[in-house]
Structure 1
Amino acid sequence: MKIIDISQPLLEQIPVWPGDTPLTYDLAVTKEQSGSVNVGRIQMSVHTGTHVDAPYHFDVNGDQVNQLDLKIFMGQVRVIHLPNRMSIGASDFEGISLEGVKRLIIRTDSWQDPTRFPETCTYLRPDLVPLLAKKGIQLIGLDVPSVDPLDSKELPTHHALADAGIYILEGAVLSHVEEGNYELIALPLPIVGGDGSPVRAVLRTLSEASY
């Protein structure tokens, strides 16, 4: 078994949504000051790096992050590679079997420079959602900051996924991940009332990948 980290490192240079809270970390108390320990302090948006969106992020009546079902963020997952696309919809899955898949992560390779927030990247078209729901998929993950176009205000794919009961994982690091079946662990923090949460997302290789 091998563990593959698919999380963005949380460093102060990490790119964030334009206008969002930049990440800062410092020592509020040093060992020299306290005589015994260092105590760190962090400030950041909950949508920094690899993160989960709760429906409350885009719907005031939606579930908050502490209300999400943790079982969805743990278990077998399929990673597929769909590069060189402006968007991904149902037609892009012709010939791709999703039978038995409950969690799906798409590697798009469209965020070329991880040190900068992208101007554009691959997004999901809302017409993909009925297919995912029909196949029983409960979580969709991407290697980009949003499942919708970055300039979208209506967020149609976010809403369609929430209506279908499909959770969203964004900002995964997948350039080193091959297509295949893995085990996913990407637990959000129990932020009461939160609209999202950073996650430490990892994949574990399976000795026998089956669905």
Structure 2
Amino acid sequence: MTKWIDITQALTNDMAHWPGDRPFTFEVAATKEQTGSANVGKITTSVHMGTHVDAPFHFSNDGDTIDKIPIETYIGEAKVIDVSKYDSITPNVLEQFQLDGVKRLLLRTSLPNNPKYFPEEIPFLDPSIAPYLSELGILLLGVDMPSVDPITSKTLDTHHALHKHGIYILENLMLDHIDIGNYELIALPLKIVGADGSPVRAVLRPIKEDE
């Protein structure tokens, strides 16, 4: 049986975080010796730490929160493509790939997977990819970067463009060790009522050609 491949960025106390955002911390708040029965852990974090999904409410006050997004969005067939030789990803770039029938698209960019380093710059996703991907029927875009917009962006043009065209966002995937191809994806968010996003445990399983 084909094994699942973990593409999740591990949550650690020394991981990098978005400048000004709440970092991730884990501690054993009460030990088994203290409680008499069990160790009890405590975490503090932004919901956008590590591998995570953005809900539309993250960038739009009128957008859906994470608990309202259909879970089927984050489960199903996905395709990994390599766009690492491009600094700017546009429809012209994506036209080079066979994306017919793809519902969930994962981009392996030139940004190295380094959870302890927060990049100053990342490859540029042109907002014009949103209508192009929408025409193909894609409903989820995943990237191995902390954002689909430039780090310094305040307008979040690509976030808004993707949302306008019905495409949800999955960020901070670990794809350096993943071959291009077709997979089953599971990247379920926590059901946090009212939240603008959630960490996920993202995994892939290769789809064989004869399946």
How high is the TM-score relative to the length of structure 2? 0.96
Report deviation, 1:94: 2.7
1: CA distance between counterparts of 2:113 and 2:85? 11
**C-alpha contact (below 8 Å) 2:86/2:110 kept by paired residues:** no
User: Cα deviation per residue 1:157-203 (whole Å; 9 max; x = unaligned)?
Assistant: 10011111101000000000000000000001001000000000000
**C-alpha contact (below 8 Å) 2:24/2:43 kept by paired residues:** yes
AA matched with 1:85:
Y
Report deviation, 1:116: 0.8
Partner of residue 203, structure 2: 202
What number of residue pairs does the alignment pair up? 210
AA matched with 2:145:
V
In structure 1, list runs of 5 or more residues that go unmatched.
none
Report deviation, 1:112: 5.6
Matches within 5 A, 1:89-128: 89-111=90-112, 113-128=114-129
Q: Which stretch shifts more, 103-112 or 66-75?
A: 103-112
Report deviation, 1:27: 1.2
Q: 1:10 to 1:56 in 2, by over 3 A?
A: same
The answer to whether residue 77 in structure 2 is matched with residue 72 in structure 1 is no
Report deviation, 1:52: 0.1
User: Cα deviation per residue 1:93-132 (whole Å; 9 max; x = unaligned)?
Assistant: 2331111000000000314643110011113101111110
Q: 1:75 to 1:13 in 2, by over 3 A?
A: same
Q: 1:112 to 1:201 in 2, by over 3 A?
A: closer
2: CA distance between counterparts of 1:21 and 1:162? 25
Partner of residue 138, structure 1: 139
**C-alpha contact (below 8 Å) 1:111/1:121 kept by paired residues:** no
SS in 2 for 1:46: coil
AA matched with 1:88:
I
In structure 2, list runs of 5 or more residues that go unmatched.
none
Matches within 5 A, 1:109-188: 109-111=110-112, 113-188=114-189
1: CA distance between counterparts of 2:124 and 2:62? 25
**C-alpha contact (below 8 Å) 2:113/2:174 kept by paired residues:** no
1: CA distance between counterparts of 2:27 and 2:143? 30
1: CA distance between counterparts of 2:33 and 2:24? 25
